[in-house]
Structure 1
Amino acid sequence: MRIATFNLLHGRSVDDGRVEPGRLSQAVAALDADVLALQEVDRNQARSHGADLTALAAEAMGAVDACFVPAVIGTPGGTWTVATGQEQQDSPGYGVALVSRYPVVTWDVVRLRGARAGLPMWLPGTHRPILVRDEPRVAVTAVIDGPSGRFTVCTTHLSFVPGWNRRQLRQVMSTLEGAPGPLVLLGDLNMTARPAVRVSGLQPLASVPTFPVHRPTRQLDHVLVRGGLRATGPVESPRLALSDHRALVVPCGPA
């Protein structure tokens, strides 16, 4: 079984600045994941040509189940509102997704408040730091009927605000206390391995830098587990034709 996580940067390439849905499909097919967690996912956004990026990923990997959950409705960095789950299915959204080649038994969603304060950040094409406002976040959990029995997978994309992301991670973990079977937490946690492991209480299956994409120096993207799973082959961190992150792929099986 191959488990992967990938921050899509809404499908944009940092090399040419373009969003081409075909690149996403090719990248997902190349990952050949059985369970894929996606972050910074667009649905019906003009910047990504109105595409449903989750549906494109599901088709590319031959998935039988997929779920996109927006954290915000509207345009990130522009005009948006906090997603509540009551929106129309075709509303422009931005959030996270889980895609699986195995049947999903149940889905669950945890909504996480954004930090009140933003942070000054250097963005591509800028000559000085820009104050970036934090956004609400969301976690999506699936109980999956896998080849060796049921297991639980959760993905999230936590705040870039130090301290606040740890608070969000604790909240996510509190909802997973009674999760059935082995537990896998995937995603861009916006923290390095040491705090991610300490706060979550989970064990890492991969220790490899994933950001920034050209010359990674930090691991922001993680595959963390509890009980019954181990890596069964080399970890992969491929550079793909989109995003400012590298994907993270772990072959795994029963411990």
Structure 2
Amino acid sequence: MLKIASYNIHKGVGTDRRRNPGRVIDVLNELDADIIALQEADRRFGPRAAAIPPLLLEQYSDYRATPLDVQTDSMGWHGNAILAHKSAQITAHDILHIPYLEPRGAVMAQIEVKGFDVSVFGMHLDLSGLWRRRQAGAIMKLAQQYGADTPTILMGDLNEWSASGGCLSVFARSYNFVDCGRSFHSRGPIARLDRIMHCDRLAAVAGGVHDSAAARKASDHLPVWAQLTRA
């Protein structure tokens, strides 16, 4: 069984408007997933330093960030990062350029863990519905290219308020959605902005929203998670 998760950490700023990456670490440890896609993993301005200091992540969590060969102080690419459990092997990684109205990007990693060899794509899509659909189409093509030989997982903050339309209808052409639940806003979830999708070579056994006291304070999003197995 493979456990994956997606989490918009809001640059480490909690619902009390205080930046506290230690609380994010607590939530990551609660999740106890094998692979986690993060959004807003870097600060917005200046050198875009990682919202979670690398030493803090190394010493107090079971995860390491996928190297993306981007800015020295950043964890991700346009805030997108992929964490893998320290027992996992990261065999490939890349940053993905997608069309955008506001600066956006996506990331991918090929990871071996628990006998699974998967291609994982993390994303944070645009606020504009038109651009979200364009971005979804671009990511689909890239996923077909990078994930041709391995089971593929797509996850992230899609910023899609529609129940089934918009960019969701684009992804649904080739991928299955895990029924995780409402993840935004963390103090009173009303929307399914955070999504996990997988190809037909995988099957979802369970999925949900991680709603803990720590998660309700650490970010304005709650993490979503899924347990997958081979189809």
Which residue of the partner structure matches residue 140 of structure 2? Answer: 173
Structure 1 range deviating more: 141-150 or 182-191: 141-150
CA contact (8 A) 2:94 2:107 kept: yes
Q: Percent identity?
A: 28
Corresponding residue to 1:249 among 209, 225, 229: 225
Looking at structure 2, the residues matched to 9 and 38 of structure 1 have their Cα atoms a distance apart, in angstroms, of 9
- Change in CA separation of 1:65 and 1:211 when aligned onto 2, cut-off 3 Å: closer
Which residue of the partner structure matches residue 108 of structure 1? Answer: 94
Deviations along 1:170-224, one digit per CA (max 9) or x if unpaired, are: 1111111131221100100111451344201210112411111122121010000
Equivalent residue letter for 1:247: P
Corresponding residue to 2:82 among 93, 98, 117: 98
- Change in CA separation of 1:60 and 1:183 when aligned onto 2, cut-off 3 Å: farther
- Change in CA separation of 1:105 and 1:247 when aligned onto 2, cut-off 3 Å: same
Which residue of the partner structure matches residue 199 of structure 1? Answer: 170
CA contact (8 A) 1:41 1:54 kept: no
Equivalent residue letter for 1:221: D
Which residue of the partner structure matches residue 227 of structure 1? Answer: 200
Residue 62 (structure 1) aligned with residue 33 (structure 2): no
Structure with higher Rg: it is 1
CA-CA distance at 1:57 after TM superposition: 4.3
Residue 236 (structure 1) aligned with residue 188 (structure 2): no
After superposition, residues 76-225 of structure 1 pair within 5 angstroms as 85=70, 87=71, 89-90=72-73, 95-101=79-85, 102-115=88-101, 135-178=102-145, 179=147, 180-191=149-160, 192-195=162-165, 196-200=167-171, 201=173, 202-225=175-198
Looking at structure 2, the residues matched to 244 and 167 of structure 1 have their Cα atoms a distance apart, in angstroms, of 26
SS in structure 2 of the partner of residue 30 of structure 1: helix
CA-CA distance at 1:51 after TM superposition: 5.3
> Scaled by the length of structure 1, what TM-score is found?
0.75
Structure 2: gaps (5+ residues): none
CA contact (8 A) 2:178 2:207 kept: no
Looking at structure 2, the residues matched to 67 and 187 of structure 1 have their Cα atoms a distance apart, in angstroms, of 18
Structure 1 vs Structure 2 CA RMSD: 2.6
Deviations along 1:108-163, one digit per CA (max 9) or x if unpaired, are: 21123431xxxxxxxxxxxxxxxxxxx31111111111323311100010101111
Equivalent residue letter for 1:226: C
CA contact (8 A) 1:65 1:103 kept: no
SS in structure 2 of the partner of residue 23 of structure 1: helix
Looking at structure 2, the residues matched to 224 and 96 of structure 1 have their Cα atoms a distance apart, in angstroms, of 17
Aligned residues: 216
Structure 1: gaps (5+ residues): 70-84, 116-134
CA contact (8 A) 1:235 1:250 kept: yes
CA contact (8 A) 1:68 1:98 kept: no
SS in structure 2 of the partner of residue 177 of structure 1: helix
